[in-house]
Structure 1
């Protein structure tokens, strides 16, 4: 059974995507870099087929965008803005495959445009930004596969999956959920096709370079993932359901619930896609993953929900639609985008702490420069700046030259792979640590705090300690393996 496809609402959907792109561009220069973006800027100087905690695509795109448009927050976010616009268009295309007419396609695009999570990640140069677009493309091809029964769509799914794996490995979770749903509900014939094997080979060829890098480097990303689950697994499980309701927008909950019901009751061939969402939720809960790992499938439910939602609103409830749209847009923009004064960020940080991670990095670097100035000038040529996380190290690397600071070092994530300080650096160590850490201080001599970072907002780096130590207890090359941090 196929579903009627209406003409694509190209103009109104493109207008929605363009409006979002304009808004994102207008605010992209506010606040500053996110800690991950500062890390990507440094990774761009060390391009490789893989990094300790991720594949190479996002650092590469940040490097290219920065090279073309400038290493500023606005410059490195250009491709993210384009990806966000493309995501909106793809969601509308999915709605079309599910039977939406031009009006419902536009509505699906609008829902995606005002949803909090897509807006928030679209503002940043983030792995999640490109991951969301990749999964929407995979979702579109999967819907086409099930709607038409044309097994050749497996090659498209394989190609999109391979590209997604060069950005983030999370794509395997929704794919696993969809495969399990097809095994449960059918049609199982799509799994007995040689085209499936062709898709797997395509994905393996595209993702192969990074998979080879991980394999030859001991699969460090598995260690990182295990550490995230151990550290945050309990909290992630407790907050999973509340965040599922909040992260797109509470006002969009009726839309995706209606989409699930519509796919289950009215579109027989789409039932596996509907079932894939609760299966994915169970997988994420079992793994202790973050709640947003399940959000891509929710956008497919949003696409399916456009038809029944508009039908409901058309029964004399158009004023409710207008009120709901305004409330969704306003709350999402305030929570997801840098529109508030930084002094007012405390109100949104409990919901979106990533807002706070874009504030305070110049202040941190300035505080580090003040602390560095306390080292006697004859000792500075042998002194070292060592940061305990990649955000701190990335900030000092980016802003430090303006303060005549040397290149910082860190054992965190891929900063470890970029090497230790020279063994000739036997002098004092300026340790940048969010809180006193005996493990590191004991390896860097006698230590005492000489400064504190004030970022101006209640984020992770506010109150960071600047600790001066007498020097490494062993040569840096000997000490280096003990300074590695995966999470």
Structure 2
């Protein structure tokens, strides 16, 4: 069994590594790669784990697409292996169920789509699944043994590492607590010291991040906590959330996962309780704002394991299993192939696939203007341009002159750039023919040039390139 699950995991790993090496970086990945240049205990947008994973890869392969994505891709493959091992333990060692669960997990729309890229969802999902896997071992180990203590501590540590990946992972801790309170098997552990040992272990990895927040006026916690504030009510976004939950694992996987709940397998209660708090929070969030698809990636493990049991109990299980795998394969591979096809973009929206297209001509135009104007650095006003241009022009200093709270990890702004000639690069809005922000940011502003990023004749993005000098910002260039 282990070799079979391992073989499937390695096969998907090979597929994702090939995609990772072939597809150019999109904006968010480039921004996270900028974090990895200057490691810190915390960042404005997310906890730091994705930066650490990227740094490991770039230390081996440099700031290439493969180097940046290597360990996030490995993280997704490892989580798939653990999904199979959970199914094996829940089924009493059934080989087929473990293999099926691993395959269903890897063929889910979200896992297959995100499994090749470097986003915080990679470490978040890895540590979510790993913590759930360790918790399953913990609650099936007699409480008076040394092994029980080790598994509870392991669960806590993995929860803590999950918290260093994404705040979403805190909901898993709430789910495990709900399991301990609501189920007889869980309540047997409440009088022991084991849950408290898990809590202490979970807090340990988080202490440096909490200290960083304390030193930075709770910047990261305040940023993420703002999403808890509700305003308005919308049934439409609630319906979109329900559709997302059913479609993300692919439809038949969702159907058979729900069927499995009629007679839950061993430790099925643990799976369900692990997901309940996050499901409820996103239902609340969906009443006033859309739930982004990537937010629910950690829940795909639960769908995959339950669906494997549901398929095993179906009438004509082999026929339904083949149909489920075939539909998942067509949907997931078809989606990624269409989105990243090398011929032409799908639409003109500023989405991750389109952010990877049309760069050679754009880079050449920027390089020519840098040389023509004598600009010694590139100025930006948003994180997408900052990260993307920093990786594409490693020989030129790239600094944002706006949204400064995002860039504390980079240290002090180079004083020599305050008066040096620069090139301000911004996304051009449709109504703008020249940079409207440059005069407020710089003492000297020359005529704006426009560069368009295109592929196959489709306009994907317009940029304003404005030669500037004399940065006005007192925060970056104090007198």
**Cα distance per residue 1:76-102 (max 9 Å; x no partner):** 322233222211110011112322611
Shift of 1:438: 5.1
Shift of 1:185: 4.6
Structure 1 CA distance for aligned equivalents of residues 446 and 209 of structure 2: 40
User: Would you say 1:133 and 2:131 are equivalent positions?
Assistant: no
Partner of 1:56: 48
The answer as to whether partners of 2:160 and 2:205 remain within 8 angstroms in 1 is: yes
Shift of 1:414: 3.6
Structure 2 CA distance for aligned equivalents of residues 227 and 366 of structure 1: 40
Shift of 1:199: 1.2
Q: Quick one: structure 1 residues 363 and 38, their matched pair in 2 at CA, closer, same or farther if it must change by over 3 Å? A: farther
Q: Quick one: structure 1 residues 417 and 327, their matched pair in 2 at CA, closer, same or farther if it must change by over 3 Å? A: same
Partner of 2:324: 324
More displaced 10-residue stretch of structure 1: 107-116 or 412-421:
412-421
Shift of 1:160: 0.7
What 5-or-longer segments of structure 2 have no aligned partner?
A: 430-434
Structure 2 CA distance for aligned equivalents of residues 23 and 330 of structure 1: 15
Structure 1 CA distance for aligned equivalents of residues 448 and 79 of structure 2: 47
Shift of 1:293: 3.0
Structure 2 CA distance for aligned equivalents of residues 55 and 355 of structure 1: 25
Q: Quick one: structure 1 residues 248 and 432, their matched pair in 2 at CA, closer, same or farther if it must change by over 3 Å? A: farther
Structure 2 CA distance for aligned equivalents of residues 298 and 221 of structure 1: 27
Partner of 1:333: 333
More displaced 10-residue stretch of structure 1: 239-248 or 121-130:
239-248
Partner of 1:303: 305
Shift of 1:276: 4.4
User: Would you say 1:219 and 2:218 are equivalent positions?
Assistant: yes
User: Would you say 1:19 and 2:4 are equivalent positions?
Assistant: no
TM-score normalised over the length of structure 2: 0.83
TM-score normalised over the length of structure 1: 0.82
Q: Quick one: structure 1 residues 237 and 46, their matched pair in 2 at CA, closer, same or farther if it must change by over 3 Å? A: farther
Shift of 1:325: 1.5
More displaced 10-residue stretch of structure 1: 391-400 or 225-234:
225-234
Partner of 1:154: 152
CA RMSD of aligned residues (A): 3.5
The answer as to whether partners of 2:13 and 2:73 remain within 8 angstroms in 1 is: yes
Correspondences of 1:165-314 after superposition (within 5 Å): 165-185=163-183, 187-226=186-225, 237=238, 239-263=240-264, 267=266, 270-271=268-269, 273-287=271-285, 290-312=292-314
The answer as to whether partners of 1:356 and 1:459 remain within 8 angstroms in 2 is: no
**Cα distance per residue 1:108-137 (max 9 Å; x no partner):** 011012112112222012221121111111
Structure 2 CA distance for aligned equivalents of residues 48 and 417 of structure 1: 6
Structure 1 CA distance for aligned equivalents of residues 205 and 447 of structure 2: 50
Partner of 2:161: 163
Partner of 2:465: 466
The answer as to whether partners of 1:173 and 1:280 remain within 8 angstroms in 2 is: yes
The answer as to whether partners of 2:33 and 2:51 remain within 8 angstroms in 1 is: yes
The count of corresponding residues between Structure 1 and Structure 2 is: 458
Please give the secondary structure, in 2, of the residue aligned with 1:85.
Answer: helix
Q: Quick one: structure 1 residues 427 and 84, their matched pair in 2 at CA, closer, same or farther if it must change by over 3 Å? A: closer
Partner of 1:415: 407
The answer as to whether partners of 1:449 and 1:466 remain within 8 angstroms in 2 is: yes
Structure 1 CA distance for aligned equivalents of residues 439 and 460 of structure 2: 18
What 5-or-longer segments of structure 1 have no aligned partner?
A: 1-8, 481-487
Structure 2 CA distance for aligned equivalents of residues 285 and 468 of structure 1: 48
The answer as to whether partners of 1:88 and 1:113 remain within 8 angstroms in 2 is: yes
Structure 2 CA distance for aligned equivalents of residues 373 and 447 of structure 1: 15
Shift of 1:469: 4.8
Shift of 1:49: 1.8
**Cα distance per residue 1:208-251 (max 9 Å; x no partner):** 11221122112211233256677999796563222222223234
Please give the secondary structure, in 1, of the residue aligned with 2:43.
Answer: coil
Shift of 1:456: 2.7
Partner of 1:5: none
Structure 1 CA distance for aligned equivalents of residues 458 and 120 of structure 2: 21
Which structure carries more helix by proportion?
1
Q: Quick one: structure 1 residues 344 and 220, their matched pair in 2 at CA, closer, same or farther if it must change by over 3 Å? A: same
User: Would you say 1:114 and 2:107 are equivalent positions?
Assistant: yes
**Cα distance per residue 1:340-383 (max 9 Å; x no partner):** 42344417x98x943333334555443433443453x4xx35xx
**Cα distance per residue 1:309-360 (max 9 Å; x no partner):** 1231xx446344323322311321232468842344417x98x943333334
Structure 2 CA distance for aligned equivalents of residues 465 and 113 of structure 1: 41
Partner of 1:368: 366
Please give the secondary structure, in 2, of the residue aligned with 1:28.
Answer: helix
**Cα distance per residue 1:395-452 (max 9 Å; x no partner):** 2222214xx6443335446435423352662355533222458567533355753113
The answer as to whether partners of 1:92 and 1:106 remain within 8 angstroms in 2 is: yes
The answer as to whether partners of 1:155 and 1:199 remain within 8 angstroms in 2 is: yes
